[in-house]
Amino acid sequence: MKFSQACKLAFMSILGSKMRSFLTMLGMIIGVASVITLLGLVTGVTNYLVDTFADMGTNTISVSITGTDTRKVDVDDIYDFAKQNDDIFLGVTPMVASSFTVKNGNTSMTTSVIGVGEDYLDINTLELSSGRFIQYADIANRYEACVIGTYVAEELFEGKVSVGDTIKISGKVFKIVGIQEEKSDSEANTTDDRIYIPYSVATRLTNSSNISSYTFATRNTEDTEVAEERLDNYLYGIMKNEELYSVTSMTELLDVINQMTGMLSAVLGGIAGISLLVAGIGIMNIMLVSVVERTKEIGIRKSLGAKKRDIMSQFVVEAIAISTTGGIIGIIIGSIATNVLGKAFGIEAVPTMGAILLAFSVSAGIGICFGYMPANKAAKLNPIDALRSE
């Protein structure tokens, strides 16, 4: 008997008892839909996390240099190095962070003041709501300019601040040249609770002779490994001692996130996979009932010359037809559910091709595995006994 004939018989049999076939498929539909939805949502969450971290700069590398009196790297060396390697480096900024008392008239607060270079804006993808960022000229001229966060603006000016106003940082007058756009709901100890000033001014304020922290940004996230290597080679060339400097990248953190969400999808997928297994057992159960009900039919077919494999393929194909039809319906429902739930959770979740292929092949595989036992039972029936049954 040809395969096409077996398919025809299978679909006739499925359509012959629609309600039962549907209920049998239901397990498959739910199983496949939940696998696809869960994997789709986890992928959405992963992308959301990765995007969030990318905003924080997955392409950034932090370098901290201790140095000694004889072995040291100054700001110009670092800028030269970044320029020589501008095929992979987007930019670099010194980081001189400290905490100061800031005053507007009689209102005062303590906030973190960070001395940065002009590239800081691009490296950290900051947005300004008004004014401009610290520029090269400010740094070169040691101009006392600052860019303030919204929390600072709220605390010192009750939000009524404009470019050109002045504040006192550690007793020195600074002109506000720009205001940062709100990033973290204007709360304390966030990126909104900050003041940026030129790094050349900051080193004076802190009385530090040399700058020990830099943030590099690479053009692509993929470049970070190469960039780390080059930085390491460069710094080791000068320091000759790994203890005197450190190079760390955000991608290392990203790897950990990926590992964690990967584990999450394995666990959730595994749980949903159990429902597929249960669906498979449901199919096996119904096929066993079907074999018993159709004993007479099997007997007739055998008496007319059906071989074991003819009966076998008839029942296996039927089981596969049930499970894959259920699988396809499940894929459709799962895809819709992924999109709807993704929107509800505010993440961009799409059914992954991998999940669809996995769900479909698992459903077909379940049809084969769980259809085999009943089909084998049917194929092994003795034609005389089968004919005699009613």
Closer Cβ to another protein, 5 or 64, answer by number: 5
Distances (CA, A) of 268 to 9, 41, 47, 265, 288: 37, 10, 17, 5, 31
Q: Does the protein bind another protein through residue 19 (CB under 8 A)? A: no
Among 196, 302, 314, 367, binds another protein (CB under 8 A): 302
Among 308, 352, 376, 389, binds another protein (CB under 8 A): 308
Among 137, 307, 340, 354, binds another protein (CB under 8 A): 307
Q: Does the protein bind another protein through residue 303 (CB under 8 A)? A: yes
Which 345-374 residues touch another protein, going by CB under 8 A? Answer: none
**Phi, psi values for residue 47, rounded to 5°:** -60, -40
Closer Cβ to another protein, 90 or 312, answer by number: 312
Q: Does the protein bind another protein through residue 11 (CB under 8 A)? A: no
Q: In the bound complex, what is the minimum distance in angstroms from residue 26's beta carbon to another protein?
A: 23
Single-letter code of the amino acid located at 127: E
Among 58, 180, 269, 301, binds another protein (CB under 8 A): 301
| Segment interacting with another protein, rule: CB under 8 A, options 32-40, 301-309, 314-322, 350-358 | 301-309
Convert 164-176 to b/e letters by CB count within 10 Å (16 or more is b): ebebebeeeebeb
Neighbours of 73 (CB within 10 A): 21
| Segment interacting with another protein, rule: CB under 8 A, options 5-13, 34-42, 43-51, 269-277 | 5-13
Q: At what angle do helices 250-293 and 18-55 cross, to 10 degrees?
A: 180
Q: Does the protein bind another protein through residue 289 (CB under 8 A)? A: no
Neighbours of 185 (CB within 10 A): 9
Q: Does the protein bind another protein through residue 310 (CB under 8 A)? A: yes
Among 99, 185, 207, 304, binds another protein (CB under 8 A): 304
| Segment interacting with another protein, rule: CB under 8 A, options 84-92, 154-162, 192-200, 294-302 | 294-302
Q: Does the protein bind another protein through residue 16 (CB under 8 A)? A: yes
User: By rule CB under 8 A, what count of residues binds another protein?
Assistant: 22
Q: In the bound complex, what is the minimum distance in angstroms from residue 296's beta carbon to another protein?
A: 8
Q: Which of 94, 97, 98 is nearest to 63 (CA)?
A: 94
Pairwise CA distance, residues 124 & 122, whole Å? 6
Q: In the bound complex, what is the minimum distance in angstroms from residue 289's beta carbon to another protein?
A: 16
Q: Which of 1, 66, 58 is nearest to 220 (CA)?
A: 58
Q: Does the protein bind another protein through residue 7 (CB under 8 A)? A: no
Closer Cβ to another protein, 141 or 382, answer by number: 382
Q: In the bound complex, what is the minimum distance in angstroms from residue 305's beta carbon to another protein?
A: 2
Residue 366: exposed, middle, or buried by beta-carbon count in 10 A (0-12, 13-18, 19+)? buried
Closer Cβ to another protein, 1 or 277, answer by number: 1
Task: State the residues that interact with another protein by CB under 8 A.
Answer: 1, 5, 12-13, 16, 296-297, 299-310, 383-384, 387
